[in-house]
Amino acid sequence: EVRHAQSLELLSASIAHEIRNPITAARSLVAQMGEDPAAPENVEYARVALEELDRVERSIAHLLRFARDEDIELAEVRMADVLASSLETFRARFAKMGVTVKRELDTPGPVRADAEKMRRVLANVVGNALDALDDSRTPSPVLDVAMGENLAGTEVWVRVRDNGPGIAPERMKKIFTPFFTSKASGTGLGLALSRKLVEAHGGTIEAKSEPGGGAEVTIVLPKRVAEAP
């Protein structure tokens, strides 16, 4: 109970920080517009204020999704198909960035899972990798996607690896923490929500990296998930 209370306290503080800052900025800008309604700078002030309020709206939308217990609709799916669907959404971005996508799929990945939820998780992981490659302007960017099964044949794993700048150790400890982000326009809920969805499937999601050595995220799913009665 103590740990839960501490987690709730930390989450509440993060929410307040995430929402208060852009509201404070927007409020200041609107106040400046009110001081001199005819100032030519008001157009720019209004634009920035709207951007700050949009950020609040995104944060709240992501927070509500994170807090809501989404129904997991299990069905027989092939993770290879889910992965292909996720990668397809990035086709234009791969081409624009010149990303080489390597695929090494040792199994079609038969599992009982919610295909749409897992597609969302994979899209988030791939999107994060592309952001890292894009922000660092990594030369000859590569996205290495692999999938296989454990020796017992009871689990399917998917690994997404990039050749970007890697993640610093102090950041690595926090990447699955709600509201932790290094992106100017991020809400820091993508990986936290991804972990929640993977764990709802009875699976795990882990990341590892060495600064300068790229980063990789591995998702492990059981082939069978005990359904609620």
Q: Give the position of tokens 């597609």.
A: 119
Q: Which residues of the chain have pLDDT under 70?
A: 1-18, 62-70, 178-189, 225-229
Instruction: Give 197's contacts (C-beta < 8 A, 6+ positions apart).
Output: 70, 72, 117, 118, 120, 121
The whole-number pLDDT of residue 217 equals 95
CB 111 within 8 A of CB 154: no
Instruction: Give 20's contacts (C-beta < 8 A, 6+ positions apart).
Output: none
Classify residue 138 as left (phi > 0), alpha (psi -120 to 50) or beta.
beta
Calculate helix-pair angle for 190-200, 115-135, nearest 10 degrees. 150
Span 188-211, pLDDT tens digits: 567 888 888 899 899 999 999 877
The structure's pTM equals: 0.69
Span 52-63, pLDDT tens digits: 898 888 777 766
The whole-number pLDDT of residue 4 equals 45
The whole-number pLDDT of residue 57 equals 82
Q: Which two tokens stand for residue 177?
A: 């923490």
